Structure 1
Amino acid sequence: MHIRRAVTADAEELCRVLNEIIRIGGTTAIETPLSPAEFADWFIDGELALVCHVAEHDQMLVGFQSLSLYGDPPAGYADIATFARVNPKIPGVGSALFPATRTAAEELGFEFINATIRADNVSGLAYYTKMGFEDYDRLIQVPLLDGTPVDRIKKRYRLRATGQATGPA
Protein backbone atom coordinates (compact mmCIF):
# COMPACT_ATOMS: atom_id res chain seq x y z
CA MET A 1 0.00 0.00 0.00
CA HIS A 2 1.31 3.42 -0.97
CA ILE A 3 0.55 6.51 1.18
CA ARG A 4 0.76 10.03 -0.25
CA ARG A 5 -0.71 13.50 0.18
CA ALA A 6 -4.09 13.98 -1.42
CA VAL A 7 -4.46 16.45 -4.27
CA THR A 8 -7.59 18.15 -5.56
CA ALA A 9 -7.71 15.71 -8.50
CA ASP A 10 -8.34 12.89 -5.98
CA ALA A 11 -11.58 14.49 -4.77
CA GLU A 12 -13.91 12.75 -7.22
CA GLU A 13 -12.75 9.21 -6.42
CA LEU A 14 -12.44 9.86 -2.68
CA CYS A 15 -15.89 11.44 -2.69
CA ARG A 16 -17.30 8.17 -4.10
CA VAL A 17 -15.59 6.26 -1.26
CA LEU A 18 -17.07 8.59 1.37
CA ASN A 19 -20.54 8.77 -0.20
CA GLU A 20 -20.81 4.95 -0.22
CA ILE A 21 -20.06 4.95 3.53
CA ILE A 22 -22.65 7.69 4.06
CA ARG A 23 -25.27 5.73 2.06
CA ILE A 24 -24.66 2.58 4.14
CA GLY A 25 -24.98 4.64 7.34
CA GLY A 26 -24.15 3.87 10.93
CA THR A 27 -20.48 4.84 11.07
CA THR A 28 -20.04 8.47 10.14
CA ALA A 29 -21.55 11.64 11.56
CA ILE A 30 -21.68 12.93 7.96
CA GLU A 31 -25.18 12.06 6.81
CA THR A 32 -25.54 13.92 3.52
CA PRO A 33 -23.48 12.91 0.45
CA LEU A 34 -20.92 15.46 -0.71
CA SER A 35 -20.08 16.69 -4.20
CA PRO A 36 -16.42 16.41 -5.27
CA ALA A 37 -16.06 20.19 -4.80
CA GLU A 38 -17.46 19.98 -1.27
CA PHE A 39 -15.20 17.02 -0.56
CA ALA A 40 -12.11 18.95 -1.69
CA ASP A 41 -13.11 21.91 0.46
CA TRP A 42 -13.76 19.79 3.57
CA PHE A 43 -10.77 17.45 3.33
CA ILE A 44 -8.08 18.62 0.87
CA ASP A 45 -7.75 22.33 0.24
CA GLY A 46 -10.43 24.23 2.15
CA GLU A 47 -9.80 26.90 4.75
CA LEU A 48 -10.13 24.47 7.69
CA ALA A 49 -8.43 21.47 6.04
CA LEU A 50 -4.86 20.98 7.25
CA VAL A 51 -3.64 17.83 5.51
CA CYS A 52 -5.14 14.77 3.85
CA HIS A 53 -3.36 11.53 3.00
CA VAL A 54 -4.61 8.81 0.67
CA ALA A 55 -3.88 5.11 0.55
CA GLU A 56 -3.40 3.57 -2.88
CA HIS A 57 -3.56 -0.16 -3.57
CA ASP A 58 -3.46 -1.73 -7.04
CA GLN A 59 -3.79 1.74 -8.64
CA MET A 60 -7.00 2.43 -6.72
CA LEU A 61 -7.59 4.91 -3.89
CA VAL A 62 -8.70 2.72 -0.99
CA GLY A 63 -9.00 5.27 1.79
CA PHE A 64 -8.04 8.62 3.21
CA GLN A 65 -7.28 10.29 6.51
CA SER A 66 -7.45 14.01 7.14
CA LEU A 67 -6.56 16.55 9.79
CA SER A 68 -8.64 19.69 10.05
CA LEU A 69 -9.84 22.44 12.33
CA TYR A 70 -13.55 21.63 11.78
CA GLY A 71 -15.71 21.86 14.86
CA ASP A 72 -13.53 24.56 16.38
CA PRO A 73 -11.22 22.26 18.36
CA PRO A 74 -9.39 23.61 21.42
CA ALA A 75 -5.97 25.23 20.96
CA GLY A 76 -3.33 22.58 20.34
CA TYR A 77 -5.83 20.08 18.86
CA ALA A 78 -6.41 18.98 15.27
CA ASP A 79 -9.40 16.85 14.31
CA ILE A 80 -8.90 13.55 12.47
CA ALA A 81 -11.24 11.74 10.07
CA THR A 82 -10.54 8.30 8.61
CA PHE A 83 -12.44 6.53 5.84
CA ALA A 84 -11.70 3.28 4.00
CA ARG A 85 -13.30 1.87 0.87
CA VAL A 86 -16.14 -0.55 1.63
CA ASN A 87 -16.06 -2.40 -1.70
CA PRO A 88 -13.59 -3.90 -2.19
CA LYS A 89 -12.56 -3.80 1.47
CA ILE A 90 -8.77 -3.68 1.85
CA PRO A 91 -7.52 -4.53 5.37
CA GLY A 92 -5.08 -2.20 7.11
CA VAL A 93 -5.90 1.07 5.36
CA GLY A 94 -6.32 3.12 8.55
CA SER A 95 -3.22 1.62 10.15
CA ALA A 96 -1.18 2.41 7.04
CA LEU A 97 -2.42 6.02 6.95
CA PHE A 98 -1.92 6.95 10.60
CA PRO A 99 1.90 7.30 10.69
CA ALA A 100 1.78 9.96 7.94
CA THR A 101 -1.06 11.80 9.69
CA ARG A 102 0.70 11.65 13.05
CA THR A 103 3.90 13.02 11.51
CA ALA A 104 1.96 15.86 9.86
CA ALA A 105 0.30 16.75 13.18
CA GLU A 106 3.71 16.85 14.88
CA GLU A 107 5.19 19.01 12.11
CA LEU A 108 2.23 21.40 12.42
CA GLY A 109 2.94 21.71 16.15
CA PHE A 110 -0.21 20.15 17.60
CA GLU A 111 -0.30 18.64 21.08
CA PHE A 112 -3.25 16.34 20.44
CA ILE A 113 -5.17 14.69 17.63
CA ASN A 114 -8.91 14.55 18.38
CA ALA A 115 -11.27 11.89 17.05
CA THR A 116 -15.00 12.25 17.61
CA ILE A 117 -16.71 8.92 16.91
CA ARG A 118 -20.36 7.90 16.99
CA ALA A 119 -20.93 5.60 19.97
CA ASP A 120 -22.58 3.06 17.66
CA ASN A 121 -19.50 2.92 15.38
CA VAL A 122 -17.89 -0.12 16.99
CA SER A 123 -15.21 -0.53 14.31
CA GLY A 124 -14.26 3.16 14.45
CA LEU A 125 -13.95 3.11 18.24
CA ALA A 126 -11.80 -0.04 18.04
CA TYR A 127 -9.57 1.47 15.33
CA TYR A 128 -8.78 4.65 17.26
CA THR A 129 -8.17 2.68 20.47
CA LYS A 130 -5.76 0.42 18.55
CA MET A 131 -3.91 3.53 17.28
CA GLY A 132 -3.42 4.70 20.88
CA PHE A 133 -6.26 7.21 21.28
CA GLU A 134 -7.78 7.53 24.76
CA ASP A 135 -11.31 8.57 25.72
CA TYR A 136 -11.54 12.05 27.26
CA ASP A 137 -15.10 13.26 26.74
CA ARG A 138 -18.55 12.20 25.61
CA LEU A 139 -21.22 14.23 23.84
CA ILE A 140 -24.59 12.92 24.99
CA GLN A 141 -27.56 12.25 22.71
CA VAL A 142 -26.48 14.21 19.61
CA PRO A 143 -29.39 13.89 17.18
CA LEU A 144 -28.94 12.48 13.69
CA LEU A 145 -30.84 14.13 10.83
CA ASP A 146 -33.82 11.84 11.50
CA GLY A 147 -33.81 12.85 15.18
CA THR A 148 -32.29 9.62 16.51
CA PRO A 149 -30.03 10.50 19.47
CA VAL A 150 -26.51 9.00 19.33
CA ASP A 151 -23.69 9.75 21.74
CA ARG A 152 -20.31 10.84 20.37
CA ILE A 153 -17.13 9.56 22.03
CA LYS A 154 -14.20 11.98 21.99
CA LYS A 155 -10.79 10.32 21.92
CA ARG A 156 -7.42 12.02 21.78
CA TYR A 157 -3.91 11.04 20.87
CA ARG A 158 -1.16 12.89 22.72
CA LEU A 159 1.82 14.04 20.68
CA ARG A 160 5.10 14.67 22.48
CA ALA A 161 6.79 18.04 22.20
CA THR A 162 9.85 16.22 20.86
CA GLY A 163 7.93 15.22 17.78
CA GLN A 164 7.43 11.62 18.86
CA ALA A 165 3.97 10.30 19.63
CA THR A 166 3.19 8.45 22.84
CA GLY A 167 0.79 5.86 21.44
CA PRO A 168 1.57 2.60 19.63
CA ALA A 169 2.71 2.81 16.02
Structure 2
Amino acid sequence: MHIRKAVSADAEELSGLLNEIIRAGGTTALETPLSPAEFADWFIDGEFALVCHVAEHDRSLVGFQSLSLYGDPPKGYADIATFARVNSKIRGIGSTLFPSTRVAADALGFEFINATIRADNVSGLAYYAKMGFETYDRLVQIPLLDGTPVDRIKKRFRIAAEHQTAHHA
Protein backbone atom coordinates (compact mmCIF):
# COMPACT_ATOMS: atom_id res chain seq x y z
CA MET A 1 0.00 0.00 0.00
CA HIS A 2 1.32 3.40 -1.01
CA ILE A 3 0.33 6.67 0.71
CA ARG A 4 0.46 9.99 -1.15
CA LYS A 5 -1.27 13.37 -1.16
CA ALA A 6 -4.53 13.49 -3.08
CA VAL A 7 -4.71 15.59 -6.23
CA SER A 8 -7.81 16.95 -7.96
CA ALA A 9 -7.59 14.17 -10.57
CA ASP A 10 -8.37 11.70 -7.75
CA ALA A 11 -11.76 13.30 -7.04
CA GLU A 12 -13.73 11.10 -9.42
CA GLU A 13 -12.47 7.79 -8.00
CA LEU A 14 -12.59 9.04 -4.40
CA SER A 15 -16.13 10.42 -4.72
CA GLY A 16 -17.17 6.97 -5.97
CA LEU A 17 -15.50 5.33 -2.95
CA LEU A 18 -17.19 7.80 -0.55
CA ASN A 19 -20.58 7.53 -2.25
CA GLU A 20 -20.52 3.71 -1.80
CA ILE A 21 -20.03 4.29 1.94
CA ILE A 22 -22.81 6.90 2.05
CA ARG A 23 -25.22 4.58 0.19
CA ALA A 24 -24.37 1.68 2.53
CA GLY A 25 -25.31 3.94 5.47
CA GLY A 26 -24.61 3.63 9.16
CA THR A 27 -21.02 4.82 9.38
CA THR A 28 -20.83 8.39 8.18
CA ALA A 29 -22.71 11.54 9.09
CA LEU A 30 -22.67 12.32 5.35
CA GLU A 31 -25.97 11.20 3.85
CA THR A 32 -25.99 12.79 0.39
CA PRO A 33 -23.61 11.55 -2.34
CA LEU A 34 -21.03 14.06 -3.61
CA SER A 35 -20.13 14.81 -7.20
CA PRO A 36 -16.39 14.73 -8.04
CA ALA A 37 -16.36 18.56 -7.99
CA GLU A 38 -18.04 18.66 -4.56
CA PHE A 39 -15.62 16.00 -3.31
CA ALA A 40 -12.60 18.02 -4.47
CA ASP A 41 -14.00 21.14 -2.81
CA TRP A 42 -14.68 19.39 0.50
CA PHE A 43 -11.58 17.22 0.77
CA ILE A 44 -8.79 18.25 -1.66
CA ASP A 45 -8.62 21.91 -2.64
CA GLY A 46 -11.62 23.83 -1.31
CA GLU A 47 -11.70 26.69 1.15
CA PHE A 48 -11.81 24.46 4.26
CA ALA A 49 -9.65 21.55 3.01
CA LEU A 50 -6.15 21.40 4.55
CA VAL A 51 -4.66 18.11 3.35
CA CYS A 52 -5.93 14.80 2.03
CA HIS A 53 -3.91 11.60 1.76
CA VAL A 54 -4.89 8.56 -0.29
CA ALA A 55 -3.99 4.90 0.07
CA GLU A 56 -3.24 3.19 -3.25
CA HIS A 57 -3.13 -0.55 -3.77
CA ASP A 58 -2.73 -2.24 -7.17
CA ARG A 59 -3.35 1.09 -8.96
CA SER A 60 -6.66 1.55 -7.15
CA LEU A 61 -7.49 4.07 -4.42
CA VAL A 62 -8.61 2.04 -1.41
CA GLY A 63 -9.04 4.82 1.15
CA PHE A 64 -8.41 8.41 2.09
CA GLN A 65 -7.97 10.57 5.15
CA SER A 66 -8.40 14.33 5.22
CA LEU A 67 -7.88 17.24 7.54
CA SER A 68 -10.10 20.28 7.20
CA LEU A 69 -11.52 23.28 8.96
CA TYR A 70 -15.01 22.30 7.82
CA GLY A 71 -17.63 22.95 10.49
CA ASP A 72 -15.53 25.71 12.13
CA PRO A 73 -13.57 23.67 14.71
CA PRO A 74 -12.12 25.43 17.77
CA LYS A 75 -8.79 27.28 17.41
CA GLY A 76 -5.90 24.83 17.32
CA TYR A 77 -8.10 21.98 16.04
CA ALA A 78 -8.27 20.39 12.59
CA ASP A 79 -11.08 17.99 11.76
CA ILE A 80 -10.25 14.50 10.45
CA ALA A 81 -12.26 12.24 8.17
CA THR A 82 -11.24 8.67 7.32
CA PHE A 83 -12.82 6.43 4.69
CA ALA A 84 -11.87 3.01 3.32
CA ARG A 85 -13.44 1.20 0.37
CA VAL A 86 -16.57 -0.70 1.49
CA ASN A 87 -15.59 -4.15 0.20
CA SER A 88 -11.84 -3.81 0.56
CA LYS A 89 -10.09 -6.98 1.62
CA ILE A 90 -7.12 -4.85 2.70
CA ARG A 91 -6.82 -4.33 6.43
CA GLY A 92 -5.19 -1.38 8.16
CA ILE A 93 -5.94 1.32 5.58
CA GLY A 94 -6.77 3.96 8.21
CA SER A 95 -3.82 2.96 10.41
CA THR A 96 -1.49 3.28 7.42
CA LEU A 97 -2.88 6.73 6.52
CA PHE A 98 -2.78 8.24 10.02
CA PRO A 99 1.00 8.87 10.37
CA SER A 100 0.97 11.09 7.25
CA THR A 101 -2.08 12.97 8.51
CA ARG A 102 -0.53 13.42 11.97
CA VAL A 103 2.71 14.81 10.49
CA ALA A 104 0.71 17.21 8.29
CA ALA A 105 -1.36 18.44 11.26
CA ASP A 106 1.81 19.07 13.23
CA ALA A 107 3.45 20.90 10.30
CA LEU A 108 0.34 23.08 9.98
CA GLY A 109 0.66 24.02 13.67
CA PHE A 110 -2.42 22.31 15.08
CA GLU A 111 -2.60 21.22 18.72
CA PHE A 112 -5.44 18.71 18.27
CA ILE A 113 -7.03 16.57 15.59
CA ASN A 114 -10.78 16.26 16.13
CA ALA A 115 -12.88 13.31 15.03
CA THR A 116 -16.67 13.45 15.28
CA ILE A 117 -18.09 9.92 14.97
CA ARG A 118 -21.66 8.67 14.92
CA ALA A 119 -22.36 6.78 18.16
CA ASP A 120 -23.64 3.83 16.11
CA ASN A 121 -20.39 3.62 14.10
CA VAL A 122 -18.73 0.93 16.21
CA SER A 123 -15.81 0.37 13.83
CA GLY A 124 -15.12 4.11 13.56
CA LEU A 125 -15.13 4.56 17.33
CA ALA A 126 -12.76 1.60 17.71
CA TYR A 127 -10.42 2.90 14.97
CA TYR A 128 -10.02 6.34 16.53
CA ALA A 129 -9.53 4.86 20.02
CA LYS A 130 -6.82 2.58 18.59
CA MET A 131 -5.10 5.63 17.02
CA GLY A 132 -4.95 7.30 20.46
CA PHE A 133 -7.96 9.64 20.25
CA GLU A 134 -9.72 10.36 23.55
CA THR A 135 -13.42 11.19 23.98
CA TYR A 136 -13.99 14.77 25.14
CA ASP A 137 -17.59 15.58 24.21
CA ARG A 138 -20.88 14.13 22.99
CA LEU A 139 -23.47 15.80 20.77
CA VAL A 140 -26.81 14.32 21.78
CA GLN A 141 -29.58 13.20 19.43
CA ILE A 142 -28.48 14.87 16.18
CA PRO A 143 -31.14 13.91 13.61
CA LEU A 144 -30.25 12.15 10.37
CA LEU A 145 -32.05 13.25 7.18
CA ASP A 146 -34.85 10.78 7.93
CA GLY A 147 -35.24 12.25 11.42
CA THR A 148 -33.59 9.36 13.31
CA PRO A 149 -31.70 10.84 16.28
CA VAL A 150 -28.08 9.64 16.60
CA ASP A 151 -25.50 10.91 19.09
CA ARG A 152 -22.11 12.05 17.82
CA ILE A 153 -18.99 11.27 19.85
CA LYS A 154 -16.20 13.86 19.71
CA LYS A 155 -12.70 12.47 20.12
CA ARG A 156 -9.41 14.31 19.91
CA PHE A 157 -5.79 13.44 19.40
CA ARG A 158 -3.26 15.71 21.12
CA ILE A 159 -0.38 16.32 18.73
CA ALA A 160 1.84 18.03 21.31
CA ALA A 161 1.73 14.98 23.62
CA GLU A 162 3.62 13.02 21.00
CA HIS A 163 6.45 15.60 20.98
CA GLN A 164 6.72 15.48 24.75
CA THR A 165 6.96 11.68 24.63
CA ALA A 166 9.51 11.77 21.82
CA HIS A 167 11.72 14.30 23.62
CA HIS A 168 11.74 12.27 26.85
CA ALA A 169 12.35 8.91 25.23
Q: Please report the TM-score for the alignment, with normalisation by the length of structure 1.
A: 0.95
Deviations 1:1-32 (A, max 9, x none): 10000000000000010000000000000000
Q: Which whole-Å CA distance do the structure 2 matches of 1:67 and 1:136 have between them?
A: 19
Q: Please report the TM-score for the alignment, with normalisation by the length of structure 2.
A: 0.95
- Cα RMSD (Å) of the superposition? 1.4
- Tell me what 2:76 maps to: 76
Paired residues, what number?
166
| Residues 149, 162 of structure 1: alpha-carbon distance in 2 compared, 3 angstrom cutoff | closer
Counting only pairs closer than 5 Å after superposition, residues 85-124 of structure 1 correspond to structure 2 as: 85-124=85-124
More helix by share: 2
Task: Work out whether residues 80 and 115 of structure 1, in 8 Å CA contact, stay in contact via their aligned partners in 2.
Answer: yes
Q: Which whole-Å CA distance do the structure 2 matches of 1:157 and 1:103 have between them?
A: 12
Q: Which whole-Å CA distance do the structure 2 matches of 1:109 and 1:130 have between them?
A: 23
Q: Which whole-Å CA distance do the structure 2 matches of 1:43 and 1:165 have between them?
A: 31
Q: Which whole-Å CA distance do the structure 2 matches of 1:23 and 1:165 have between them?
A: 41
- Tell me what 1:130 maps to: 130
- Tell me what 1:139 maps to: 139
Task: Work out whether residues 41 and 49 of structure 1, in 8 Å CA contact, stay in contact via their aligned partners in 2.
Answer: yes
| Residues 54, 65 of structure 1: alpha-carbon distance in 2 compared, 3 angstrom cutoff | same
- Percent of aligned pairs sharing the same letter: 82
Q: Which whole-Å CA distance do the structure 2 matches of 1:128 and 1:68 have between them?
A: 17
- Tell me what 1:155 maps to: 155
Q: CA offset at residue 164 of structure 1?
A: 6.7
Task: Work out whether residues 159 and 165 of structure 1, in 8 Å CA contact, stay in contact via their aligned partners in 2.
Answer: no
Deviations 1:110-164 (A, max 9, x none): 0000000000000000000000000000000000000000000000000117857
Segments ≥4 residues shifted beyond 6 Å: none
| Residues 163, 9 of structure 1: alpha-carbon distance in 2 compared, 3 angstrom cutoff | farther
The secondary structure found in structure 1 opposite 2:160 is: coil
| Residues 62, 139 of structure 1: alpha-carbon distance in 2 compared, 3 angstrom cutoff | same
Q: Which whole-Å CA distance do the structure 2 matches of 1:162 and 1:129 have between them?
A: 16
Q: Does 1:31 align with 2:26?
A: no
Q: Which whole-Å CA distance do the structure 2 matches of 1:28 and 1:162 have between them?
A: 28
Q: Which whole-Å CA distance do the structure 2 matches of 1:164 and 1:38 have between them?
A: 39
| Residues 13, 135 of structure 1: alpha-carbon distance in 2 compared, 3 angstrom cutoff | same
The unaligned stretches of length 5 or more in structure 1 are: none
